[in-house]
Amino acid sequence: MSLKEKGGEIMIKCKICGGEFVVLKKHLKIKHDMTTSQYKKLFPDAEIYSNSYLKRKRAIAKRQKENGNLKNFKKGFSGVNE
Ligand SMILES: [Zn+2]
C-alpha cells in the first residue's frame, strides 16, 4: 500500500478511483454513492480513515473527556450522561 504524507497528514487511497484522502467516508458517498460498509465489503482490507486522522480524533476525544470531567467535577458531577 502506498501512503503519501501531505502536510503531516497521511493520506489513504480510494481503491475505486485512486484518489488520495484523509477520510474516505465523505468521498465514497459523494463520488461513488457508496457507504463505508459497502466499500468494506468490496475491499475488506481497505482503510476508511488515515492513521493520522484517527490519532487526532483520539486526542480530541481524550481532551473533550478531560474537559467534560473537569466541568462535571465543578458541577459536582451533576448531569452526567453516559
Ligand atoms: Zn474514489
> For 33-75, how does the pLDDT look when each residue is reduced to its tens digit (9 = 90+)?
999 999 999 999 998 988 888 898 999 999 999 988 877 776 6
| Domain covering 3-66, topology | Arc Repressor Mutant, subunit A (1.10.10)
**Over the chain, what is the mean pLDDT?**
84
Encode 35-68: b = buried (16+ Cβ within 10 Å), e = exposed: eeeebeeeeeebbbbbebbeeeeeeeeeeeeeee
d(CA 43, CA 50): 16
* Three-point CA angle 48, 55, 27, nearest 5°: 25
Q: Which three cell numbers stand for residue 51?
A: 492513521
By the 8 A CB rule, do 8 and 52 touch?
A: yes
- Interval between CA 46 and ligand 1 midpoint (Å): 12
Q: Domain locations in the chain?
A: 3-66
pLDDT at 2 over 60: no
- Interval between CA 18 and ligand 1 midpoint (Å): 6
pTM of the model: 0.62
- Interval between CA 40 and ligand 1 midpoint (Å): 13
For residue 51, the model assigns a pLDDT of 86
- Interval between CA 19 and ligand 1 midpoint (Å): 6
